Structure 1
Amino acid sequence: MHLLFATSIVPDGALESGYEIANAAVIDALHRAGVRVTVIGFAWPGKPPADPDNTVVLGEIDVRTEDAPFKQKIAWLAKAMRTGLTFSSVKLRAVTAGELRQEIAAAGPFDGYVLNSVQFAGAFEGVFDDRPSIFVAHNVEHRSAIEIAHSVNSMLQRFMYTREAKLLKTLELRLCEKARFVFTLAEEDRAALGVASDDRSAALPLVTRHTPPPQPSKRQIECDAALIGTWTWQPNRIGLDWFLGEVVPQLPSDFRIRIAGRTLAGAASSHPGVEFVGRVPDAEAFVRSAAVIPLISRAGTGVQLKTIETFELGLPAVATRSALRGIDHMPENCVVTDNPAVFAKALERAASGKVADADGRIFYRQQRAALDTQVMRGLDKIGYQRDGAAA
């Protein structure tokens, strides 16, 4: 079977974001099932595809809103209002639907599509109706947009995200209705998208790496707690603001916290132990240098890839309930609480050396086996035969 994996940004091999990690996990699972996969989408500027022989690049594009000039943001908004598209989808209209169809025809033939998230499929809705499809819902996007609308102070941003939520809700419904099968990244997202039936959808337990993690070994601890993430993404920022505002003030003044990743203006703490370190060269080495990992999600849908990474590495953790979306197997060295005081005390206990590392290989094997089982269910729905032929 040959499937076209249609996505906004094609993989470049870096695996720097949760979106990229999830894409790699799904594509790897399709390969393990014996499926030939061709990826189509845009590339980040200056970043060639990781697998050029099996990738169709429609051009280079930077879709990050926070980095765009003000004039570009206004142009995107005006185009979205004029076309009736979502703000996230209109950014991808750098080619026409006709040009996209030509690229698909040149790279085929295909047995079906994997429509990866709502942005690209929404930008070119109708182009992918000629073959059976699987829709991969990374999040319940309309719910995330509502949460962001409620959290921002700007009237313009509140209008944009309220409009986005309304359009996304109907778009997600249409994509789910058209798809033969829907993959979500968290169990609760199936009902939220109206596809709770086992005949219509499955939640994918993800992994974040191509090979099993190393066995537990002695670590050199350089700080008490470490966090890494894309803090410019509003759902992540909501969690960071909660952590800095509610948890950190209850920690001792000598408790050392390092926060890596891009942050928006205003992210700060008066606690003397908090240090913002920006980008780090090796994310795994960074988190392994901490005694405990705070998993601080308070908003959003889908799965928290940082949670999966932490469990694969066997690191002690303290997690909110939201941070455990999509997790079926929770290790014993993770404390779960939404109470800031309890969260702080659990961090102190783990940082004191009273919580041991776990064997993350066990979690990894469980996740990958379950992932392969669920992916096969979706493939069966679009006519996959176990000998690799299309039905």
Structure 2
Amino acid sequence: MRLIFVSSLVPGTAPEDGYEIANHAIVEGLRRAGARVTALGFISPGATPSDPEETALLGEVIIRTSDATAGMKLRWLATAALRGTTVSSAKLRVVTRETIRRELARLEPYDGLILNGVWLAGAFEEVFTARPYVFIAHNAEHVSARQNAARVESRVERILFRREARYLAELEERLCANAAFVLTLSDDDRHSLNVARDDRALSLPLVMPVAADMPGRSARTFDVGLIGSWIQVPNRIGLEWFLREVVPRLDAEVSIAVAGRTPRELSSDDPRVAMLGRVENARAFMRDCRVIALASRVGTGVQLKTIETFELGLPAVATRSSLRGISSVPANVEKADDAMAFAAALTRQIQGQRAGRVADLDGTGFRAAQLRRMDDVLRIAMDRLEAATRDREVPSGPRAGQATLRGP
């Protein structure tokens, strides 16, 4: 089966955030299932496709708002207002519909499309929904936008997030309704997107693209470690909560390290906290910490750093939000949602690590279970796509905006 993987960012050689890591994992999963997969989309400036022979590049584009100039942000907003679309899709309107159609024609023959997220699919919806497709919802984006609107302090940001939420809700409804099958990354998102029935959608477990080796750990530099892309609003909210509410409740001798890109205005003057910025080797950093704090407070989809922590077998304390999309939590992980309980759990885990009562685990079992389920779900989705391709009677497919459900 030949599939076109339509993604705002194609898989690159050095993925930097959860979305890019998930793209790698999904493409490799489709290939394990026997599909030939060609990625179609953009790439970040200076990046390189991981599989150039199976990549159709539309050009370079800056996706992250934090990397954009003020002029770029204004152009994105103007395009979104003019086109009646989301700002995130407007970022990708740097090529024409005709360019997309030419690329798709050049890639013929193929059996169907994998629409990986809403951004590129939403920018050229009428083109990409003209053929049978599977829609992969990395998040329930309209829910995330609503959560962001409720938590940001800037009135302008709040208005923009509310606008995004409104447009995203309509876009996600159409993409789900017209899909041969829908994959989400958590069961909660199936309900948020109104595709909770198993014959319409399934939750797709993920694994890290590269399995972890399992070297022993000796000395630890830090008691508590956090790692992520903190420039993203949902992640930033979790980090701010941790620094403001949890850290003051920890013992004075506890050492804390935060790795990953942070907004310029986000810092800590607590001497126990080291803000390290981007680290070269994420796994080496995580292994250098006694306990990983998984402190997500909002968001949808799945937390890739949670999956990586569990694959590495590291002790952790996790909020309920950090465990989205995880069906089996390892024995050396404690759950806590309020700041006092989270701090107390961290203290127990740190003391247990120091005394040898809390140990690292072999994470290969967790990874193997995730991988089996992932492959099963992808096989089901491909079967539904193949059936939709066979049953397709009108080559042009449903018009963008039609909410015509395909039968299971």
TM over 0.5: yes
SS at match of 2:66: coil
1:363 to 366, 379, 383: 366
Aligned counterparts of 1:356 and 1:15: Cα–Cα separation in 2? 30
Q: Could you tell me which residue of structure 2 aligns to residue 313 of structure 1?
A: 312
Q: Could you tell me which residue of structure 1 aligns to residue 377 of structure 2?
A: 374
Q: Could you tell me which residue of structure 1 aligns to residue 123 of structure 2?
A: 123
SS at match of 1:383: helix
The answer for unaligned runs of 5 or more in structure 1 is none
TM-aligned CA deviation for residue 231 of structure 1: 0.5
Letter in 1 for 2:223: D
TM-aligned CA deviation for residue 66 of structure 1: 1.4
Are residues 1:324 and 2:323 paired? yes
Deviations 1:224-280 (A, max 9, x none): 011111111000011001101110000112211010111113323343210101111
TM-aligned CA deviation for residue 384 of structure 1: 6.6
SS at match of 1:268: coil
Residues 113 and 133, structure 1, Cα contact 8 Å, conserved in 2 = yes
TM-aligned CA deviation for residue 215 of structure 1: 3.6
What are the within-5 Å matches in structure 2 for residues 1-391 of structure 1?
1-211=1-211, 213-215=212-214, 217-352=216-351, 353=353, 354-383=357-386
Residues 14 and 47, structure 2, Cα contact 8 Å, conserved in 1 = no
TM-aligned CA deviation for residue 339 of structure 1: 2.1
- Greater shift, 273-282 or 219-228, is seen at 219-228
SS at match of 1:7: strand
Letter in 1 for 2:160: M
Aligned counterparts of 1:274 and 1:119: Cα–Cα separation in 2? 36
Letter in 2 for 1:109: P
TM-score (norm 2): 0.92
Aligned counterparts of 2:194 and 2:285: Cα–Cα separation in 1? 39
Residues 311 and 363, structure 2, Cα contact 8 Å, conserved in 1 = yes
Deviations 1:49-101 (A, max 9, x none): 11010000011111211121112111111111111010000000010011110
Aligned counterparts of 1:340 and 1:243: Cα–Cα separation in 2? 8
**Count of aligned residue pairs for this structure pair:** 387
SS at match of 1:126: helix
Alpha carbon RMSD of aligned pairs, Å?
1.5
SS at match of 1:114: strand
Aligned counterparts of 2:80 and 2:118: Cα–Cα separation in 1? 15
Deviations 1:254-309 (A, max 9, x none): 21101011111332334321010111110000000000000000001000111000
Letter in 1 for 2:375: D
Aligned counterparts of 1:196 and 1:326: Cα–Cα separation in 2? 14
Aligned counterparts of 1:361 and 1:341: Cα–Cα separation in 2? 32
SS at match of 2:263: coil
TM-aligned CA deviation for residue 132 of structure 1: 1.0
Deviations 1:78-132 (A, max 9, x none): 1111110100000000100111100111122110000000001000001123321
Letter in 1 for 2:314: L
SS at match of 1:237: helix
Residues 135 and 175, structure 2, Cα contact 8 Å, conserved in 1 = yes
Q: Which runs of 4+ in 1 moved over 6 A?
A: none
Cα gap change, 1:374/1:219 in structure 2, threshold over 3 Å: closer, same or farther? farther
Cα gap change, 1:134/1:272 in structure 2, threshold over 3 Å: closer, same or farther? same
Aligned counterparts of 1:53 and 1:365: Cα–Cα separation in 2? 29
User: Percent identity among equivalent residues?
Assistant: 49
